[in-house]
Every structure is written in structure tokens, then in C-alpha cells.
Chain A
């Protein structure tokens, strides 16, 4: 998410899901407001499709603890978000909700080097961190999920995990 090869940093939860819509609790209604307050990206919900990967700058999801800022992307069936770092509470909320948020410290280099551009078709292995840019036939690496994050993602979040481990 950015312009001319520069990622926008410190995108906060008000830009991702504005506080005017906090009363919305239905997952399927949340998608239409995703990034609705981020200059240049307000038309995002209409343009994105299932499985799309969002690439963002450092400290994505800074600010408040609202869960909708994660769930609006689940609502749109976004595949994952990759950023150099995430807001602490945002990261916790995403992991708890089983949504893949992946860290990649080299993201800015990849983009500056022309190895990753908006619209490229990419595949990422969340266990090994291996990435393939199929458009440019280039390989790259992100930080793989660790065990805990993977286990929660696998079952669909913290509450599902609690129910599953109880039965085991």
C-alpha cells in the first residue's frame, strides 16, 4: 500500500476501519469499510478480491484495539498482510483471530529493487517463509509463522483453539 514504490508507514486503525463504524459487529458487513479512511485507498473494497495479499509499511495497525480493523480484511477474504512490523495490539488481535499477518524486514529493499510491484502474482509459504514472485520469476523471503501463530491460524483463532485443545 503506497505510491511510487514507497510504502505508507504507521497506518492506524482509524484509517483501516474508522471509529464511525464501530457499532458494526457482523463480519460480512465490515469489508465495505476497509481502508475507508486511508487517502488514496478508499476504493479498496471494490477493487480487491479473495486471496489478495496486502503489502504495507512498518507499524501497520498502530493505535486502538478495535478488532474490526482485522476482521474487515477477513470479511473481504484477504489472503494475508505482509509488513515490516505491526502495531502490538493489532498483531495480537490478528493472531487471535487466525488471520495471517506476516513480517518481512526486507520489504522496502524488495520494492526499491523492483522485485515486488503492485499487481504481481505472489505465493508465500507461511511455514518456511519462502516467497515466489510468479510474475517476475523471483524468489524472496519473509519471516515464517512460529509454532503458536501457526497453530492458531490452522484452527481459525484463539477460541477455536481452546475448544480443540480441550477435546484432545
Chain B
């Protein structure tokens, strides 16, 4: 009996028998905490383990991304608590200038294919995009991981998803992702490792792979993998990590809990209406919805390619009077690309607000909050009530957000 992708990665990090359902001790290649969760990790560590060292300084990191630089006194305090702890223990902080932790780990080659990474971020499974088993956990688990370099984990069952069909032009990775969220809901992939197959996912760029894998969390899944990839993706990842990209593959006789086929033939842009990410409709069904603001960024859509897609729509146009468009690049590296390729100018001239890198308003930390009654269209991954302030959030692709901000109501890029 063969092994699935998740079983193979876990097999490489434990001596125990690995089969879906078994609980094993997993060796971690990287453990991290951010400015939310991090202060509790420090508190737990000091209480339980006092002045003792962390298990491996070179594999332990803080990544500040939620409220950067701190805009509340509490975050300022919490970040300083983490910095002091990291200095005392001698490990690295990716500080408030760097951007979203999971993305920084990818850019720095700290999320190698086949490796294991944990952090206090429920979207850490984004690392599945580069064939790495990333997992978000609570502060108790992460404290233990800092101290021992291990975590216990129940090997998840795997679900196989085939995507077939030829969508309309202008159908982006986010549209694909939202449509898959709609089809799988929160039950079919719950607690599972999801393996995506089919031409539409194989040809995704790194940024598109990140978009799809990030929203496995909203499907209630453990992690998503896209084992087939273009050569250009492999060489881009190699240039980041400095190592050959070897995405783990599943054995032919691997055991899956289920296989599902999703047909995207003829589909156009998709939008998730409040207050559930699964509440997905065709953009055309929502065109009467007027918007007050737009948000482009977050771990799901904050790569250069995402902002470039928005800039293509916005170039030479203006954000409609009375609408604000907030743009937050995922990382400093993305910001640099925006600068060097002139994209920042196109975005600026359209009237958009562009901030320093980070998570944006997803954790109510920084740019992207909404007031009561405000209607926002966002490239984020969650539109739960109260998640990004008191307003209503619609989830869409960068191009749809850009087009909507030009017209003042929900619209696809074809409408421009």
C-alpha cells in the first residue's frame, strides 16, 4: 500500500509508523511565532523552561506581520517582549519591515519542499504551495516546538481533487480558489490533506499556488498540495531557496478517503458574498452591489503578480470618487518589485493608497478595517462578520477588486 503526499512528508520526519489516523511525533525543520501568539509563547516558555535555551536557534524565528509597525500600545509591547526574548535566546526576528511571515519563509528558502514548518498563523498551510507541510498551531504547541523541535500530529486522511474544464479568459487563481471553496464547502475537505490535480492547477504560478493553498483553511482542511507544476515554477522556487525543487509525489497505490472532480468549464470571475467564504457567486450576480472601499493584499493575494494584475486594470484609470482602494504588498521583496517595475506608479496614479508590507486588516491589525455600514471588496480569505471591522466584506480577485473600485460597484475586469 502506497503513501499520499502528506504521509510521505511525515515519514521523512518521524521514526514511527505513518498511516492516516495515527498520532506521531513530528520533527520540525522550522518553528515560528508572530506578533499574535508570540508573546504567549514567550510567557509559557519563561514559566515552564526558565532560562534554558531553545532547541535550535537556527530553526526558530519570530515573524512580525499583523500590526506593523505597531499601531497600538499593546502590539508595541508584545513585539518588544518577543524581540527581547529572541535576543536573549539568540535567534532571528523577521521584524516589522519584512512582511507576512509565511511569505518571508518562502522567499528565504526556509520552507523547502518536503520540509515541516509550524507557526502561530492559521494560514501557515500556505506553504503547501511549495510542497512544504506548514501548519498553524496555538501558543502551547509552539512553545513546546521552540523547546523540543517536535510536535505531535495526527496523520490526516487525504482527499484527491481533480479540476477539469476550460474557464473563460480573465478567470484568475482567486476565481478558481473561490469556486473550489464553494464546491468543497467546509465538510468535504475537513481535517484532510487535499491534493489538487488537473491542467488548471498545474499551470498556476507560485502566486496562484499560494492563493489556492491559502484557502484550504477556509475549506476546514489541514493543507493543500499541487504536486504537478510548470518548469518556470520549479526554477523560481529554486532561485529563492537555492536548492533543487523536489515536490513530493503520491504513490500510485496511495489510499485516499475520497476523490472529487470539479468542473470549471466556461466559468468567469467569482465573488464570495458576506458572511461566509463559501457563499460564492458569479460576479455578474452581484453587479448591483455598491462599494465604499477595496482592499488588495493579504497572504492570499499579496504577491507581485497579484498587484500587477490589479495595476493592469487600474493603469490610466481613476479609482471612483468616494471610493478608497487600499493596497498592502505581502513582503518587502514584493514592494521592491513594485518599485523597480514601475507598478507602484501606476497604482499610485490611479488614486490607490499603498502601505508598507504586512497582513493588512485581516487580524484587525493594520490597513483594511471597515466601519459599520461600509461595504468593502477584498482579496482576503475570510469575510466572517466582524473579521475586518464592522462592515460587509466581499472576497474577490485583485482584478475584480480593481475594476470594482473604478466603477464604484462590484464588477469584473471585462466591464472596464
Binding site for B on A (CB under 8 A): 65, 67, 88-89, 92-93, 95-96, 146-149, 152, 158-159, 162-163, 165-166
Contact = CB atoms under 8 A, between A and B. Distances in A.
Contact of B25 (A93, A95, A148, A159): A148
A162 B148 contact: yes
A165 B144 CA distance: 12
B215 to A, nearest CB: 18
Contacts of B16: 147
8 contacts: A89-B138, A92-B138, A93-B138, A96-B144, A148-B23, A158-B141, A159-B44, A159-B144
Given A149-B23, A162-B147, A96 B141 contact: yes
Interface string B132-154: 00000110110110011000100
A106 B24 CA distance: 25
A67 B138 CA distance: 10
In this complex, which of A95, A96, A159 has the most chain B Cβ atoms within 10 angstroms of its Cβ? A159
Interface in B329-382: none
A89 to B, nearest CB: 7
Given A95-B152, A165-B148, A158 B140 contact: yes
B22 interface: yes
B48 interface: yes
Interface string B1-44: 00000000000000010000011110000000000000000001
Classify the interface of chain A: helix, strand, loop or mixed.
helix
A92 B152 CA distance: 9
A146 B22 CA distance: 8
A148 B152 contact: yes
Contacts of A158: 140-141, 144
A159 B48 contact: yes
A162 B55 CA distance: 11
In this complex, which of B24, B48, B140, B147 has the most chain A Cβ atoms within 10 angstroms of its Cβ? B140
Nearest to B48: A159
A65 B44 CA distance: 16
B48 A163 contact: yes
A133 to B, nearest CB: 27
Given A146-B23, A148-B23, A159-B48, A65 B138 contact: yes
Given A148-B24, A148-B25, A163-B48, A92 B147 contact: no
A97 to B, nearest CB: 8
Nearest to A96: B140
B280 interface: no
A107 B49 CA distance: 40
Nearest to B21: A146
Contact of A162 (B23, B48, B191): B48
A105 B171 CA distance: 44
A147 to B, nearest CB: 8
Nearest to A67: B140
Contacts of B25: 148
